[in-house]
């Protein structure tokens, strides 16, 4: 079972995830209005690029965007959650070993103590985000069952992986569950809101380009938009 999950099943998960995200990207770009968007972007590429980079960076840096500053506690929680969500899967030593054994790619790793700390931080902040969805009326009214399920799914590989690393009773169960939930998470990315890992950059870039070109960014330069 272990060999199958870390072999063909893992390949399938990566293929579905990669192909799905690529399809999302293509359809997003294809869906841009050629009159309102593509003409402006192609005629004013430098202004558009500047606006896109500014928009993306302001949302990637804590408290750089106004909305981050309006909710400081949530901002800290959000960034800590995503820090663990990104660093642990990419740089965990066990994952790097699988990558080198399977594909011959040497990958940098982080110390286990740091991986454990980031895992616990991701679990704690993920739980806080989950509680927030039910505690705040303005968030609860927008929360759906899929939102809760996706958040739980994102946390599941961290919990099961941590239990496996700590040699908890039922080690084999936790290890296999960690692999299965991780692969389910990969496959679900293109089909759920988890696709924001890629779509965030596309949407922020488009918004930044709109403001950099059409919405006052080039005001007074004879632009017709």
In this predicted model, what pLDDT tens digit does every residue of 2-33 receive, in sequence order? 778 877 888 899 999 999 999 999 999 888 77
Of 62, 29, 51, the residue nearest 207 (C-alpha): 51
Backbone angles phi, psi at 33, to 5 degrees: -70, 120
- Which tokens hold the place of 105? 């790619």
The whole-model pTM stands at: 0.87
In this predicted model, what pLDDT tens digit does every residue of 94-140 receive, in sequence order? 888 877 776 777 788 899 999 999 999 999 999 999 999 999 999 99
Give 174's pLDDT tier (boundaries 50, 70, 90): very high
Position 79 pLDDT exceeds 90: yes
How far apart, in Å, are the Cα atoms of 121 and each of 83, 96, 127, 208? 9, 21, 10, 32
Position 152 pLDDT exceeds 60: yes
């Amino acid at each position: 079972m272990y060999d199958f999950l870390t072999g063909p099943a893992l390949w399938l998960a990566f293929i579905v995830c990669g192909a799905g995200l690529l399809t999302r990207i293509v359809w997003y770009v294809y869906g841009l209005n050629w009159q309102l968007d593509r003409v402006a972007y192609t005629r004013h590429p430098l202004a558009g690029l500047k606006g896109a980079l500014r928009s993306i960076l302001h949302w990637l840096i804590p408290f750089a965007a106004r909305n981050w500053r309006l909710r400081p506690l949530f901002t800290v929680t959000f960034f800590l959650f995503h820090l663990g969500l990104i660093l642990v899967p990419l740089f965990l030593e066990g994952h790097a070993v699988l990558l080198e054994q399977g594909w011959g790619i040497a990958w940098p790793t982080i110390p286990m103590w740091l991986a454990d700390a980031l895992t616990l931080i991701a679990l704690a902040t993920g739980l806080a985000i989950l509680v927030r969805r039910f505690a705040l009326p303005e968030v609860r009214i927008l929360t759906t069952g899929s939102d809760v399920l996706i958040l739980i799914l994102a946390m599941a590989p961290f919990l099961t992986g941590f239990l496996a690393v700590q040699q908890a009773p039922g080690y084999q169960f936790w290890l296999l569950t960690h692999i299965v939930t991780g692969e389910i998470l990969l496959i679900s990315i293109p089909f759920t809101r988890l696709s924001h890992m890629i779509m965030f950059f596309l949407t922020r870039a488009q918004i930044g380009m709109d403001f950099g070109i059409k919405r006052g960014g080039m005001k007074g330069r004879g632009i017709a938009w």
